[in-house]
Amino acid sequence: MPGFKHILFPIDFSEQNCGMAPYVACMASRYGARVTMLHAMELPAAAYPEWSGYAGGWPAYVSSEEFQAIVDQTKQRVESFLKSEFQNTSTTRLMHEGDPARLIVAYAQKENVDLIMMPTHGYGPFRRFLLGSVTAKVLHDVKCPVWTSAHVPHTPKQPTGYRNVLCAVDLTSKSQPLVQWASGFIRDHGANLKLVHAVSAGEARGGVDIEGGRFRAFLFDVAREAVAKLQLEAGTNVEVVLEGGEVAAVVRRAAEEKHADLVVIGRGVMPERFGRMRTHVYSIVREAPCPVISV
């Protein structure tokens, strides 16, 4: 269940970081959580002391003094980055040298982080179709919930709270705790909850397709029964959106039509035969018009 007390906010001084800072501050304020801002200083080989060479715009030779100056400047930048945005939030600022994804995962596990909030790096007409490699690795490796910003080609709007939350379910054994987690989240935020499920092979096709239509109707009936059983077990009774088609596309359309402020999904490849939704985490995050929390 939600109850975030320690939020990890990886920073790289990017525009995406600045755009999502208000969301991090709002989440911390809601739960009275402390925030750790972690910057991974990833240097090319040529930047290390006494190295002779050239890489990525660094000079051919970096002395120990120059290297220390680089480290000191980066630490100062970490200390001053988004200072005003977090002036009312308990914040720890850290800088470590190494691979960003590895450092984020290791810190989250060691320090019992409750929630990681990070951008997808989706600004711009081309980057809109890409999911940042660091974000992808973190989604794959960590065990705690991960909040990712809307993967849109423009700076996201300022947060206005969570009023409409959409929970995507795949009707496997993991769906019940997911729905219960989402129910706890909406109680914390005074929001409305809706469930969405993509029906496999349930997308209508053109032309005369009588038998296919009957089969799709059967699939929808089975899905309705399964969702009803899921809600009974989870103790919920909320609106359900059933639509045939590819998972990420169904979730995106439902989020747009229901004006969702947040999408909640399960994360991790499922062993169950029909655990399709959990194998589509990256595409759901990439397609969603609003932030996503993957649990």
**Residue 231 shares a structural domain with residue 291:** yes
Residues of the chain above pLDDT 70, percent:
80
**Residue 143 shares a structural domain with residue 171:** no
The answer to whether the CB of 223 falls within 8 A of the CB of 198 is no
- The answer to whether position 45 is within a domain reads yes
User: What per-residue confidence (pLDDT) applies to 211?
Assistant: 58
**pLDDT for residue 153 is more than 90:** no
Q: Amino acid identity, residue 216?
A: R
Sort 210 into a burial class: Cβ within 10 Å, 0-12 / 13-18 / 19+.
exposed
**Residue 33 shares a structural domain with residue 120:** yes
**Residue 132 shares a structural domain with residue 167:** no
- The answer to whether position 155 is within a domain reads no
* Domain interval for residue 285: 160-295
Q: How many CB atoms lie within 10 A of CB 294?
A: 23
* pLDDT, average across residues 40-60: 54
User: What per-residue confidence (pLDDT) applies to 44?
Assistant: 55
Q: Which two tokens stand for residue 55?
A: 């890489």
Q: How many CB atoms lie within 10 A of CB 270?
A: 17
Q: Which two tokens stand for residue 104?
A: 């984020």
> Could you give the CA distance from residue 213 to residue 217 in angstroms, rounded to a whole number?
6
Domain count, the chain: 2
**Residue 173 shares a structural domain with residue 113:** no
Q: Which residue, 114, 149, 184, sits at the end of a domain?
A: 149
User: With DSSP H G I counted as helix, E B as strand and the rest as coil, what are the percentages for the chain, rounded to 5?
Assistant: 40, 20, 40
pLDDT band at 214 (very low <50, low <70, confident <90, very high): confident
**Residue 173 shares a structural domain with residue 213:** yes
- The answer to whether position 39 is within a domain reads yes
**pLDDT for residue 236 is more than 80:** yes
Each residue's pLDDT tens digit, 55-109? 444 455 567 777 788 889 999 999 999 999 999 999 999 999 889 999 999 999 9
**Residue 293 shares a structural domain with residue 190:** yes
User: What per-residue confidence (pLDDT) applies to 65?
Assistant: 79
- The answer to whether position 154 is within a domain reads no
User: What per-residue confidence (pLDDT) applies to 215?
Assistant: 85
- The answer to whether position 48 is within a domain reads yes
Q: Which residues of 73-89 are buried (b: 16+ CB within 10 A; e: fewer)?
A: ebeeebeebbeeebeeb
**Residue 254 shares a structural domain with residue 205:** yes
Q: What is the pTM of this model?
A: 0.86
pLDDT band at 52 (very low <50, low <70, confident <90, very high): very low
97: domain CATH number is 3.40.50.620
**Residue 247 shares a structural domain with residue 220:** yes
Where does the chain show beta strands of DSSP type E? 6-10, 34-41, 51-52, 61-62, 91-97, 115-118, 146-148, 164-168, 192-199, 239-244, 262-265, 292-294
- The answer to whether position 259 is within a domain reads yes
The answer to whether the CB of 68 falls within 8 A of the CB of 80 is no
Q: Which residue has the tokens 């947060």?
A: 159
3-state DSSP assignment of residue 180? helix
Residues of the chain above pLDDT 90, percent:
58
Each residue's pLDDT tens digit, 167-183? 999 988 889 999 999 99
**Residue 5 shares a structural domain with residue 145:** yes
- The answer to whether position 275 is within a domain reads yes
Q: Which residue, 149, 180, 204, sits at the end of a domain?
A: 149
Q: Which residue, 149, 171, 196, sits at the end of a domain?
A: 149
User: What per-residue confidence (pLDDT) applies to 154?
Assistant: 67
**Residue 216 shares a structural domain with residue 293:** yes
Query: Picking from 5-9, 12-16, 78-82, 206-210, which range would have the lowest pLDDT averaged per residue?
Result: 206-210
**Residue 49 shares a structural domain with residue 166:** no
User: What per-residue confidence (pLDDT) applies to 266?
Assistant: 93
